[in-house]
Structure 1
Amino acid sequence: MGGTGAPRLTVKGAATRRRIVEGAAVEIRERGASATTLDDIRAHTATSKGQIFHYFPGGKEELLLAVAELEAERVLDDQQPHLGNLALLDTWEAWQDWRDAVVRRYERQGVNCPLGALMFELGRTTPASQAVTGQLLAQWQAALRAGVRRMQDGGRIDAELDADTVAAALVAAVEGGVTILLATGALTHLEAALDTTLSLLRPGASASGM
């Protein structure tokens, strides 16, 4: 993702910018988005104020948006190789492995969601925040849709089901379960939502809602 509209950088400049973003992400995970200052980020990344504003002319808000893009990338990275471009998610065992990877990710995260905190700080309804969220969901849904279609091609999922709708339901199952996890600290609803949605896709299951 690269929605901040940063100018084209040299290899060294891109590496410096990435280092600042990753350092800011560490500070935000530890302190929270609201409590993290540019001075905290400067100290963590050993950069000057001039460097910060060189790479992020819009100041803290632009930097927070870059961190949000990084955290969105990590949501998908943590689901690899299951959502890769190879012929993955083409067996029920592969889908179970993906399901387990998702649960492990949010079990590690617990009730502290860096991406959620950043979206709250930036304002969830701002165009920039919506672009980050929209791109994440679009990439996630596209990867799952490809897996559903592979299963349909192999006769493992009803070919009459709309693959995009199924993928959307799976993303919604995760996001709904994570919302409850953030409120309660319990993984129960995330696991139940994923298990139920996947079970409805198996031949002979009642999947009329899809």
Structure 2
Amino acid sequence: MSGALTAKGQATRARIVKGAAEVLREQGVALATLDDVRARSGTSKSQLFHYFPEGKDQLLLAVAQFEADQVLDDQMPHLGCLDSWDAWDQWRDAVLRRYEQQGDHCPLGSLILQVGRSTPGARAIVTELMRQWQEYLAAGMRALRSAGHLPASFDTEQSAAALLAGEQGGVSIMLSTGRSTHLRAVLDSAIGQMRAAMRAAEVE
């Protein structure tokens, strides 16, 4: 539907999705209602069902895509140009800063713990997000390897997968404890291991 909407219609739909995302982050899927979404987004019942005629499940799918897009957008432009050690350090700082600022309103936490479990469609969106995210990390590692900053034998796919898993785990712990210590440790360790791999190769 969104492709055929007027600019005003697109803005209204986006406002509904954004309002729903905020409500779901605060209340969770089980407790959030469409009335809560209408109140937060300032829309009427007829407007909500005009854009989401299938009701809550359709809205949840839109929220899942919104949150998935936000997770990647929050790391840009750094995530898309990890071609030097300085770029990796800047990405690391941006990730820490963003997640510390977001706290309990983290889109990744909402997506993984709440919305992403709601429907098969939402799970598919989470799966695609993780694929894209891992590919950005792997592409950055390949760029370092091509520039001679990582040894030719460095396994970019496995390392990217491990970093993604660690980053997600660090965010989950931060949401549970309010402290970014583990997320910071994961990022520092991953970058440190890459630098160590290059030093070891130079010694050989």
TM range (shorter): 0.7 to 0.9
The match for 1:21 among 10, 17, 23 is 17
Residue 82 (structure 1) aligns with: 78
Residue type of the partner of 1:49?
K
Q: Is the 8 A contact 1:72 1:136 kept in 2?
A: yes
Residue 68 (structure 1) aligns with: 64
| TM-fit CA distance, 1:14 | 2.8
CA distance in structure 2 between the aligned counterparts of 1:138 and 1:123, rounded to whole angstroms: 15
Q: Is the 8 A contact 2:138 2:159 kept in 1?
A: yes
| TM-fit CA distance, 1:78 | 0.7
Q: Cα 1:180–1:66, aligned 2, differ >3 Å: closer, same or farther?
A: same
| Deviation sequence 1:107-131 (CA, Å, 0-9, x none) | 1122454554455445628422221
In angstroms, what is the RMSD of aligned CA positions?
A: 2.3
Does structure 1 residue 56 correspond to structure 2 residue 49?
no
Runs of at least 5 residues in structure 2 that lack an aligned partner in the other structure: none
The answer to which structure has the higher helix fraction is: 2
Residue 97 (structure 2) aligns with: 104
Secondary structure, aligned partner of 1:201: helix
CA distance in structure 1 between the aligned counterparts of 2:63 and 2:105, rounded to whole angstroms: 15
Q: Cα 1:108–1:33, aligned 2, differ >3 Å: closer, same or farther?
A: farther
CA distance in structure 2 between the aligned counterparts of 1:143 and 1:107, rounded to whole angstroms: 22
The match for 1:195 among 188, 196, 199 is 188
When normalised by structure 1's length, the TM-score is 0.83
CA distance in structure 2 between the aligned counterparts of 1:115 and 1:196, rounded to whole angstroms: 21
Residue type of the partner of 2:17?
V
Runs of at least 5 residues in structure 1 that lack an aligned partner in the other structure: 1-5
1:159-178 map, 5 Å: 159-178=152-171
Residue 39 (structure 2) aligns with: 43
- Provide the aligned length of Structure 1 versus Structure 2: 198
Q: Cα 1:16–1:125, aligned 2, differ >3 Å: closer, same or farther?
A: closer
- Of 116-125 and 59-68, the range deviating more from structure 2: 116-125
Does structure 1 residue 140 correspond to structure 2 residue 133?
yes
